[in-house]
Amino acid sequence: MAAPFDADQQARFDAGIAKLLSQFPNDRKQAAMMGAVRLVQELVGWVPPEGMEQVAQKLEVPVSKVLEVATFYVMFFTKKPGKYVIDVCTNISCSLCGAEKLLEGLERKLDVHAGETTADGKFTLREAECLGSCHTAPCLQINEDHHENLSLKQAEELLAKLA
Amino acid sequence: MAATELITRNWKKKDPSLKAYEAAGGYQQLRKVLKMQPADVTAEVKKSNLRGRGGAGFPTGMKWSFVPANNPKPRYLCVNADESEPGTFKDRYIMEWDPHSMLEGCAIACYALNAHACYIYTRGEYKFPAEVMDKAIAEAYAAGIFGKSVLGSGFQMDCYQVRGAGAYICGEETGLLESLEGKKGWPRLKPPFPAVSGLFGCPTVVNNVETLASLPFIFEMGAEKYAALGTPKSGGTRLIALSGHVNKPGVFECEMKTTLRELIYDLGGGITGGRKLKAVIPGGSSAPVLPASNIDIAMEFEALKDAGTMAGSGAVIAMDDSTCMVRALWRITRFYAEESCGQCTPCREGTPWMTRLLRKIEEGRGQPEDINMLLSVASSIAPFPPMGLGQTICALGDAAALPVHSFLQFFRAEFEEHIRLGRCPFEKPWGSLGEGRFQ
C-alpha cells in the first residue's frame, strides 16, 4: 500500500507515536489509538486507509480495530473533507437562540445541505452536537476553532476571510 | 442566594498560569494532604458530603472507598472532561480559567487512592480548553507537582491528557474507559464497577472535572464547614450553567438552596424580551422538564428528585412562551438518536423512531395514535416512573426517554393540538426541520 506520509510527515508521525506510547503501560499499545488516529488526521487532513494501516502496525492491532475507531467518532474523517470544516451547533439551547436559522442561512450561502462539501472542495458544512457554548448561542467551529454569539452576517464574514 | 465563591474565585483574573494559581494560595492543600494518611484523606472527603458533579451525583468519598484495598493491580484516576450534555458548559471554564484547581484535585485524589497515573479524558471539540490543560500539566511537571516525587513527598504520580473525538457516549464512565483503551466508546455492563475493574482491568475511579476542582476547598475550609454550605446529603456549592431564553446566561456558582426562580430571575436577569417563562429543564437536556409553575424549588439533588426530575449536570435551560414543545422535544430526541452508540436495540432503534414520530407531528402529519406510540417507544427504552431503570446497558436510553415522558406529562395538550390542527400552531418556527437522517 502507498505511503500516506512524505519523509517529514513520517518523522513527525513516528515521534508522535513514540510519545503517545510512553503514556500507557507497555502491554497496552492500543490505548494510544485516539491520539494516533488524530495524529494521522493532523498530518494529512483525514484518515486514509494507508494511515490506518500505519497506526495498526505501530500499535500492533488489526487494521479493523483502527477502522472501528476512525468510523465511530464524528471528528475523524474517513473521506476527505473540505479544506474548512464548519460545525454548526443546533442543539436545544442554540436552537432556542436561532441556530437553525443560522445553519439554513449557511446552507443557502454555500449551496449545500448540512453534511455536504461545496463543489470546489473548500467547505464542508455539518450539524454538530452540543459544542458546550450554550450561553453564547448560536455558535460554530471552523476546523475546531470556536466562534460564538454569531449572527448569520457575522458567520458569513468569518467564511469570507478564509482563503 | 448570593453565591459563595469557591470554584469561581480565580476566574475573574482570567489567568490560568501556575504562577497566578500559586499566588492565590494554590497547591497548599495538596501539601497539607501529603502529610496525612491516604485513608484519612478519603474520610475527610466522605465527611464533606461532596457528590459527583458530572450528572449522577454519587457521593465522591464513597466511590473512592469502593476501590478494594487488597487488589495488587495498579490503580488509576480518570478525569471525565467529556462535557457533552446539551446545556452544560461549566467544566470548560474550569479548564480554561483555573486548570490548576482541577490538577490539584487530581493529585489529592491520586494520593488518597494510591493511584500513580491520572488520565484526563477531554472532549474532542474542546480544542482551546485542551491546549490550556496541556500547558498547565507541563507547568505542574516542571514545578515538581507531577512526576517521581510529588512536591518532594516521595509519592509518584503521572498525569496525561487524552482527547476524545466527538462522541457523547464517552462521557458515560465505562464508555470513557473503552475510549481510553483505544476502542469505540461502547459502555460496559456493570458490575463489575470501574472501582473494581476499570481501565485495563484495574481498579479505577472516574471523577468529573468540577468534582476534582472542589477537593482543595474541602481541605482549605475543613470538611464540616464545606458540608455546611450545602444540604444534609449534599455538601458545598455547585456550578450551574444557565442558557436558553434568559437575559444573562452563563455559569453561576450557587449554594444548594438556590431555587430555579432565583437563578432565572435574579442571577439570569429574567426572560428575554420580557416574555413569560413556559418551561425549565433543570439538569441538562436529559432531565425531565418542569412547567413554569414549578420553579420554586431548590436546585439540589434531593429536592429535584422529589419533584420528579434531576439535578444532573447542573444545566438549566429556560424556554419562554414562544417555544413549541413538540419542536423542542424533537431537537432533544434527535440529539440522543444521533449520539446513541448503537449497542442496545431499544436505544438504537427507539431513539430515531421517536425522532421520526415527533417530526411527523411537528410537520402536521401526526395521527392521534402517534402520541401513545411515542410513549410506548419511550417506555420500551426506559419506563417512567420509576426513573433510572432503563432497558439498556447505560443511561443514554434513560436520557432519551425521560424528556419524552415528561414533555407529554406536562404539555400533552400541545401535542394533541398539533395533530388536531394538522400544523404547528406557533408563529415563529425556528427554521426548517432540515434534511437530516431522521426523516
Residues 6 or more apart whose CB falls under 8 angstroms from that of B182 comprise A30, A31, A32, A33, A34, A59, A61, A65, A69
Partners of residue A134 in chain B, C-beta under 8 Å:
86-89, 241, 243-244, 249, 315, 317
- Whether B1 shows a pLDDT value over 80: the answer reads no
Q: Which residue has the cell 500492533?
A: A60
At B304 the pLDDT is 87
At B311 the pLDDT is 84
Contact between A20 and A55 (Cβ < 8 Å): no
Cα–Cα distance for residue pair A38/A73, rounded to 1 Å: 11
Closest chain B residue to the Cα of A130, Cα to Cα: B86
Q: Is A93 in Cβ contact with B243 (below 8 Å)? A: yes
Closest-CA residue to B314 (of B140, B88, B137): B88
pLDDT tens figures, B236-276: 999 999 999 999 999 999 988 899 999 999 999 999 999 99
| ipTM score of complex | 0.96
Closest-CA residue to B87 (of B285, B248, B268): B285
With a CB-CB cutoff of 8 Å, which residues 110-169 of chain B face chain A? 123-128, 158, 160, 162-168
At A103 the pLDDT is 94
Partners of residue B92 in chain A, C-beta under 8 Å:
132
At B144 the pLDDT is 97
- Which residues on adjacent β-strands are paired with residue B316? B242
Measure CB to CB from residue B200 to each of A28, A35, A141 and give the nearest one: A28
Partners of residue B328 in chain A, C-beta under 8 Å:
92, 95-96
Beta sheet of A140-142, edge-to-edge order: A123-128, A84-89, A140-142, A145-147
Write the single-letter amino acid at B247: N
Q: Is B241 in Cβ contact with A33 (below 8 Å)? A: no
- Whether B234 shows a pLDDT value over 70: the answer reads yes
Distances A124 to A53, A87, B228, B254 between C-alpha atoms, Å: 26, 8, 52, 40
Q: Is A92 in Cβ contact with B86 (below 8 Å)? A: yes
Closest-CA residue to B401 (of B230, B317, B287, B316): B287
Contact between B118 and B227 (Cβ < 8 Å): no
The percent of residues in chain A predicted with pLDDT above 70, rounded, is 99
pLDDT tens figures, B308-366: 888 888 899 999 999 999 999 999 999 999 999 999 999 999 999 999 999 999 999 99
Partners of residue A87 in chain B, C-beta under 8 Å:
125
As a residue count, chain A comes to 163
Measure CB to CB from residue A145 to each of B74, B86, B127 and give the nearest one: B127
Beta sheet of B204-208, edge-to-edge order: B158-163, B117-122, B76-81, B204-208
Closest chain B residue to the Cα of A102, Cα to Cα: B431
The percent of residues in chain B predicted with pLDDT above 90, rounded, is 85
* B73 reaches A (C-beta below 8 A): no
Partners of residue A145 in chain B, C-beta under 8 Å:
127
* A145 reaches B (C-beta below 8 A): yes
Closest Cα in chain A, distance from residue B85 (Å)? 7
At B437 the pLDDT is 47
Q: Is A132 in Cβ contact with B92 (below 8 Å)? A: yes
Closest Cα in chain B, distance from residue A56 (Å)? 11
- Whether B62 shows a pLDDT value over 70: the answer reads yes
Partners of residue B250 in chain A, C-beta under 8 Å:
135
Partners of residue B168 in chain A, C-beta under 8 Å:
129-130
At A2 the pLDDT is 63
Cα–Cα distance for residue pair B323/B292, rounded to 1 Å: 13
Contact between B213 and B102 (Cβ < 8 Å): yes
Q: Is A134 in Cβ contact with B315 (below 8 Å)? A: yes
* A77 reaches B (C-beta below 8 A): no
Measure CB to CB from residue B436 to each of A91, A127, A144 and give the nearest one: A127
Closest chain A residue to the Cα of B321, Cα to Cα: A96
pTM of the model: 0.95
- Whether B436 shows a pLDDT value over 70: the answer reads no
Task: Give the residue-averaged pLDDT of B117-128.
Answer: 97
CB pairs under 8 A between A and B: 166
- Whether B388 shows a pLDDT value over 60: the answer reads no
Closest-CA residue to B53 (of B26, B91, B85, B1): B91
3-state secondary structure B236-267: CEEEEEEEECECCCEEEEEECCCEHHHHHHHH
- Report the 10 Å Cβ neighbour count for B134: 16
